[in-house]
Amino acid sequence: MIPTSFEYTAPTSLKDALALINNGGKPLAGGMSLIPMMKLRMAAPEHLIDLNRIAELNYIRETNGQLHIGANTTHYDVESSPLILGKCPLLAETASYIGDIQVRNRGTLGGSVAHADPSADYPAALQALEAKIVLTSSTGTRTLSTADFFVDTFTTALEPGELVTEVIVPVEAGLTGTSYQKFLQPASGFAIVGIAARVRRDEGKITLVRIGVTGVGGNSYRALKTEQALQGKSGSDAEIDAAAKLVGDGIEASSDLHASARYRLHLAANYAARAIRLALSRSV
């Protein structure tokens, strides 16, 4: 199908883009979600504000033990950046699972985060990383935790006139292992279940464990009961299996043509165990 008619503007500064968005413009990043919705006429913006020419939103840099990644950074750049590969490998690994090469070359970190698809890959990693999301409007900037930013299905804490402008993730300390494991829907590449694990073991005991989950429910979340079950443990197979079974505890699992709620919870437990084991094997 063909989208309805619309006005198109491609500003080169964040200031100009925010002014246009304040006047009712719809931001366009990589277009991997918005353009298909427009073609199906599920979305019909009157004015598109193309963000791709705003160079100040495209960067990857390290400051004070954190990586700052601009919203216009593509999935491919996240996947292949030597800085991210070396300092935050979980995010690079997660980006490598997104869609196909065409999607990774066009889609952006900020666009994916703002869209908040319940089956998107990044949210699981960002939950496990305890990332921060920077939101900017014409009146200022605020920074939210991932837990506060992702609210519900396709719903975030973004206010009218705000853009996601940056994602902040930690530089991993030594002895921290990470892994992203995903059961995907073959046609779309989206996660039926995706589990991000971040584990640190010191002197034979797990001293840090963070588990991010996507695809299971209406939005991403941290599997706190799984984390609590592993904290202070040695990480034996029995301990991992018991903790992984808690990954969907208290979650209203989604049910659709791809997987029933029961099957999703079964997958979540199995993929959580895989992710934790692999993360532990990398925590050296």
Residue 147: the pLDDT is: 94
Say yes or no: 61 and 16 in one domain. no
CA atoms in the 13 A half-sphere facing the CB of 123: 35
pLDDT tens per residue, range 31-86: 888 988 989 898 889 999 999 999 999 999 999 999 999 999 999 999 999 999 99
Say yes or no: 164 and 131 in one domain. yes
Say yes or no: 151 and 188 in one domain. no
3-state SS, 122-175, equals: HHHHHHHHCCEEEEEECCEEEEEEHHHHEEECCEECCCCCCEEEEEEEECCCCC
231 inside domain: yes
**Matching residue, tokens 């006047």:** 23
Domain of residue 137, CATH code: 3.30.465.10
3-state SS, the chain, equals: CCCCCCEEECCCCHHHHHHHHHCCCEEECCCCCHHHHHHCCCCCCCEEEECCCCHHHCCEEEECCEEEEECCCEHHHHHHCHHHHHHCHHHHHHHHCCCCHHHHHHCEHHHHHHHCCCCCCHHHHHHHHCCEEEEEECCEEEEEEHHHHEEECCEECCCCCCEEEEEEEECCCCCEEEEEEEEECCCCCCEEEEEEEEEEEECCEEEEEEEEEECCCCCCEECHHHHHHHCCCCCCHHHHHHHHCCCCCCCCCCCCCCCCHHHHHHHHHHHHHHHHHHHHHHCC
Gap between the Cα atoms of 52 and 12, Å rounded: 8
Gap between the Cα atoms of 239 and 91, Å rounded: 26
2 inside domain: no
Say yes or no: 151 and 114 in one domain. yes
pLDDT tens per residue, range 116-149: 999 999 999 999 999 999 999 999 999 999 999 9
Domain of residue 37, CATH code: 3.30.43.10
129 inside domain: yes
Domain boundary pick from 145, 170, 195: 170
This prediction has a pTM of 0.95
1 inside domain: no
Per the structure, the count of domains in the chain is 3
Domain of residue 180, CATH code: 3.30.390.50
Say yes or no: 132 and 219 in one domain. no
Residue 32: the pLDDT is: 84
Range of the domain at 38: 7-50
Q: How confident is the model over 256-264, as a mean pLDDT?
A: 96
264 inside domain: yes
Say yes or no: 198 and 213 in one domain. yes
